[in-house]
Amino acid sequence: MRPFLLPTESRMANNNSPSSAGVAPAVSFWRDPDKRAIIYQVIVVSVIAWFVYSIINNTATNMEQRGLASGFGFLSTSAGFGIISTPFVPYTEESNYFTVFLVGLVNTIIIAAIGCLFALALGFVVGIARLSSNWLVQKIAIFYIELFRNIPLLLQILFWYSAVLKPLPGPRELHEAGEKVFFSINNRGMIFAEPVGQPGFENVWYTFFAAIIVTWVIKKWANARQMKTGQQFPMFFVGLLLIVGAPLITYVLTGRPLDFEPAQMSRFALQGGVTIIPEFVALLLALVIYTASFIAEIVRAGIQAVSHGQTEAASALGIKPTHRMRLVVVPQAMRVIVPPLTSQFLNLTKNSSLATAIAYPDLFSVFAGTTLNQTGQAVEIMAMTLAVYLTLSLLTSGFMNWYNSRIKLVER
Amino acid sequence: MAMDNTTSYSGLVNQGNLPDKPAPINTEGLGPWVRDNLFNGAFNSVLTISSFLLVLYTLPSALNWLIFNAVWSGGSDACRVNPDGACWTFVGSRWEQFLYGFYEKSERWRINILLAILAVGIIWLAWEKAPAKKLMAFFMLVIFPVFSFFMMYGSETLGLPIVETPQWGGFTLTLVIALSGIVASLPLGIVLALGRRSNMRVISLLSTIFIEFWRGIPLVAVLFMATIMFPLFLPAGVTFDQLLRAVIGVALFASAYMAEVVRGGLQAIPKGQYEGAMALGLPFWKMMRLIILPQALKIVIPGIVNTFIGLFKDTTLVLIIALFDLLGIVQASIADPNWSIKSVPYTGYAFVAIVFWICCYSMARYSRYIEDKLHTGHKR
């Protein structure tokens, strides 16, 4: 009779079986799961190695045949095309392709960061409205969620861009030549006066940072006092007053050293001012509205996951309803909310690549789109683009994992 | 003795009737309902009034535009006369293109047959008490895709003229990409999920890398790779159809998400089930096939449906690589100069939105229903 062996996970069985102690095991080579596992893995690895090798080989041959250049030398070539929005990175048509990459990267990060922030805020509001005791508010929240999460994101982007923002009147229809414009929404985007700091404005910044430090010190003191005596301190209002009020007072006292320079209407377009391009607005609107509908459901599920006993116990302890939400329910709900929230943030970041459909100059649109078309170096460009998205994914999930480990339940 | 007691306490016993208590606050009927649900407290009252104004402001104009003011008959001239309502005649005159794309007119019966089988299959599988569900599932997941390929593409031996894939389009193409993506990603996803949980280090590492790679990149990038990079990867002379490349990309992309869904199901199965199966001496694949996967797949049906909903919506992205799915074909039709009327783009987008909404919402309801049925814990 052959010895009884567990078919898998048999490491334990092998070690414990008397046969392995001294006598040679009476198991044939193929029936030993450990050895079999090694063989399987060797086979899988060699198949994949062959696969990767043949892909690399084919690509090299194909590129040679088609006369495609390879290497990253193209990055220092002048790009020769204009980009409609280049925040933080100085860019002209003479700039090289690496600058194009940086411009795209910055634009992607901007849309992703702002999008995540707004989507989180809107999602929380809608998620809480979804649980509201107010019948009408609850129904509107349900309508919002069910409407927007069941319509493709690309459709929403195209809708906001070509059906809402593009048909807006142009600047020429709205303003006369020479007119000074402080705020305008037209088919060229949102334009408002540019704030220009005059000498002395830096004091406002100093006060602002000083106020933050003072608030932090007061918070430490207030916490220590509450631990000792149980007395509470209206930290929120004091902090708000300090951080908003103190710079405001400095601003007024130093003689309001901030000018708003309006845009001026030339014959065809508005000159100067700060412009937010319609592509950005359309993409942001669509991403925020779409993602918020998912976040709202996550928030609702998270709050509902907190056992009702917690709320009842908090009430029984005499905790105020507002504190009950803030100190008892939300911290526990966050444990349920954070992991799926992370994947929503990742989705939003990846979905920002749909910018290419309306030509907002994000990484995908200017680098994997225009640059790839001009240089034809598909392999290098796609590798760089994918590396960026993978890194952003890893960074976001790394940050959210850190946050999650900070708030998660400490068990035994 | 007893009598004495009664008389001595008589001053404490009420002789007459007490005055009536005020009636309890009414809790039935419309008035109290409005009070409890809409105006309990100042904050809620303000909320109610402002949201009521919001509804009052948006709902009538939306309904007017969509239904009452819309153009339901006539040609493009009727829409030109009335630009303040949806131009449904635009959809009416183009619906065949929206459904079939540029598929040969004489061959459209083939698509109709497939759509009919698909509808019957879906209802059969979704209907709980239907008989022979396993057989039907096998038919829909294995035989139907092969059959559909020959029906759609055609085959000389069967006497069906070949219709090249660039002619496929419209809602049919949306269904082709989404369904083949999901059918291909299901087995791949199961294998990847098992691989990720495997004890073999190398296999688990490779599966993890594969899953995280595909989950970390946007679908647009996948489609771009499918169009631009894929031909470079193949040996010289071998070419793939553009649509097939896109479908392969979508399937690989979806399989990573499917793997995570299935892994959730595998993790939810108690360890005792694994141990029980092993104690019975079942080899790995038998254990999976007979004990673990039937349980795991059942509890991840909502997850699979949700993945499918996501994939279904994401098929619209193929318009970026110049395939004309429903959104792509509507987008192209909007640009038609014969229909360059102010209300046409809105109508086109509204039509696509309604089609997708109906599909996704009904799938989501189904997934919710299954979830509720499986969820037998305490609910409030």
Reported as a single tens digit per residue, the pLDDT across A133-191 is 888 999 999 999 999 999 999 999 999 998 888 888 888 888 877 788 888 888 888 88
Spatial separation of the C-alpha atoms in residues B334 and B350, rounded to whole Å: 12
Domain count, chain A: 3
> What residues have CB less than 8 Å from B313, skipping those under 6 apart?
A150, A151, A152, A153, B356, B360
- What distance in Å separates residue A238's CA from the closest CA in chain B? 24
Q: Does B58 touch chain A (CB under 8 A)?
A: no
Distance from CA of A391 to the nearest CA of B (A): 8
Whether residues B320 and A356 touch (CB distance < 8 A) is answered with yes
Residue written as token pair 């690509």: A59
Query: pLDDT confidence of A411, banded at 50, 70, 90?
Result: low
Same-domain check for residues A378 and A305: yes
- Smallest Cβ distance to B221: which of A55, A137, A353? A353
For residue A298, pLDDT beyond 70: yes
Nearest to A273 by CA among A281, A284, A265, A285: A265
Residues of B in contact with A50 (CB under 8 A): none
Q: Does B285 touch chain A (CB under 8 A)?
A: no
Nearest residue, CB atoms, A133 vs list B40, B356, B360? B40
Q: For residues B286 and B280, give the distance between their C-alpha atoms in angstroms, rounded to a whole number.
A: 11
Residue B127 near chain A (CB below 8 Å) = no
| Two tokens, residue A332 | 């526990």
Q: Which residue of A61, A155, A378 is in closest CB contact with B327?
A: A155
Residue with tokens 């504190």: A323
Question: Min CA distance, B15 vs chain A (Å)?
Answer: 41
Contact B218 A308 (CB under 8 A): no
> Quick check: B369 contacting A, CB < 8 Å?
no
Mean per-residue pLDDT, A10-38: 62
Q: Does B248 touch chain A (CB under 8 A)?
A: no
Nearest CA of chain A to the CA of B274: how many Å?
10
Query: Helix, strand, coil shares of chain A as percentages rounded to 5?
Result: 70, 5, 25
Q: Chain B closest CA to A195's CA: distance in Å?
A: 34
Element (H, E) at B52: helix B42-63
For residue A167, CA distances in Å to A159, A160, A189, A360, B240 come to 11, 10, 11, 17, 41
Contact B51 A140 (CB under 8 A): yes
Q: What is the DSSP letter of B13?
A: S
**Angle (nearest 5°) at CA A96 between A94 and A98:** 150
Residues A156 and A163: their CA atoms lie apart, in Å, by: 10
CB contact under 8 A, B228 and A378: yes
Residues of chain A in contact with residue B44, where contact means CB-CB under 8 angstroms, are 133-134
Residue of A nearest to B204 (CA): A41
Same domain, A350 and A394: yes
* B130, two tokens: 């239907």
Nearest by CB to residue A389, choosing from B221, B317, B357, is B221
B189 vs chain A: nearest CA distance in angstroms?
Answer: 17
Regarding whether A410 and A319 lie in a shared domain, the answer is: yes
Are A281 and A144 in the same domain?
A: yes
Same domain, A283 and A410: yes
Is the Cβ of B278 closer than 8 Å to some Cβ of chain A? yes
Q: Closest CB to A385: pick one of B221, B231, B316.
A: B221
The distance in angstroms from the start CA to the end CA of chain B is: 58
Radius of gyration of chain A measured on its C-alpha atoms: 30
Q: In this prediction, what percent of chain A has a pLDDT beyond 70?
A: 93
- Domains of chain B, start order: 106-163 (no CATH), 171-326 (1.10.3720.10)
Q: A227 with A332, same domain?
A: no
- Binned at pLDDT 50, 70 and 90, residue A25 comes out as low
**B220:A364 CB<8 A:** yes
Please give the residue range of the domain that contains residue A220: 204-257
Residue A312 lies in a domain: yes
What are the mean pLDDT values of chain B's consecutive 10-residue runs (380 residues total)? 54 79 76 81 86 91 89 84 86 90 87 92 86 87 89 83 86 92 92 91 91 91 89 80 90 93 89 92 91 88 90 92 90 87 89 95 90 66
Rounded CA gap, B254 and B261, in Å? 11
CATH label of the domain that carries residue A349: 1.10.3720.10
Reported as a single tens digit per residue, the pLDDT across B182-206 is: 899 999 999 999 999 888 889 999 9
| Residues in B touching A364 (Cβ below 8 Å) | 218, 220-221
Please state, in angstroms and rounded to a whole number, the distance separating the CA atoms of residues B185 and B208.
16
Best of B36, B44, B217, B327 to disrupt the A interface by mutation (most A CBs within 10 Å)? B217
* Averaged pLDDT for residues A284-290: 96
pLDDT on residue A412? 54
Helices assigned H by DSSP within A23-182: 33-65, 97-130, 135-149, 153-158, 171-174
Q: Which residue has the higher pLDDT, B25 or A313?
A: A313
Tokens, residue B48: 């109610």
Closest CA to B258 of B310, B294, B206: B310
Residues of A in contact with B202 (CB under 8 A): 41, 44-45
In-domain check, residue A314: yes
pLDDT digits (tens, 9 = 90+) for B51-106: 999 999 999 999 998 888 888 888 788 888 888 888 898 988 888 889 998 888 88
Q: Are residues A218 and A287 in the same domain?
A: no
Pairs of CB atoms within 8 A across A/B: 163
Tens digit of pLDDT for each residue in A332-388?
Answer: 888 888 888 888 998 999 999 999 989 899 899 888 888 888 888 888 899 999 999
Q: Are residues A290 and A412 in the same domain?
A: yes
d(CA A331, CA A338) in angstroms, rounded, equals 11
End-to-end CA distance of chain A: 46
Judging contacts by C-beta atoms under 8 Å, the chain A residues touching residue B218 are: 350-351, 353-354, 364, 389
| A397, pLDDT greater than 80 | no
A190, part of any domain: no
Alpha carbon of A229: minimum distance to chain B alpha carbons (Å): 34
Nearest by CB: A155 against B199, B215, B353: B353
A7:B284 CB<8 A? yes
Q: Alpha-carbon distance A184 to A275, whole Å? A: 10
B35 — contact with chain A (CB < 8 Å)? no
Q: How far is CA B139 from CA B122, B183, B222, in A?
A: 11, 12, 30
Please indicate, yes or no, whether residues A281 and A149 belong to a single structural domain of this protein.
yes
Tell if the CB–CB gap between B224 and A382 is shorter than 8 Å.
Answer: yes
Determine the Cα angle at A406 with ends A402 and A412, to 5°.
Answer: 125
Q: Does the distance separating the beta carbons of B221 and A368 come in below 8 Å?
A: yes
At B10 the pLDDT is 64
Radius of gyration over alpha carbons of chain B, in Å? Answer: 31
List chain B residues with CB under 8 Å of A133.
37, 40, 44
Same-domain status, A237 and A360:
no
Q: Which residues of B fall within a CB distance of 8 Å from A145?
A: none
Asked if B48 lies within 8 A of A134 by C-beta distance, the reply is yes
User: What is the rounded CA–CA span in Å between residue B349 and residue B111?
Assistant: 24
Q: What is the DSSP string of A249-309?
A: HHHHHTT--EEEE-EEE-SSSEESSEEE-HHHHHHHHHHHHHHHHHHHHHHHHHHHHS-HH
- Give the integer Cα–Cα distance in Å for A204 and A387: 41
Q: How close B156 gets to chain A, by Cα (Å)?
A: 33
Q: Tell me the nearest-neighbour CA distance from A56 into chain B, angstroms.
A: 7
Same domain for A226 and A309, yes or no, is: no
A145 lies in the same domain as A245: no
Phi-psi region of B159 (alpha: psi -120 to 50; beta: other; left: phi over 0): left
Q: Domain for residue A173, yes or no?
A: no
Given the structure tokens 């334009």, which residue do they identify?
A: A191
Q: Distance between CA B260 and CA B271 in Å, rounded?
A: 19
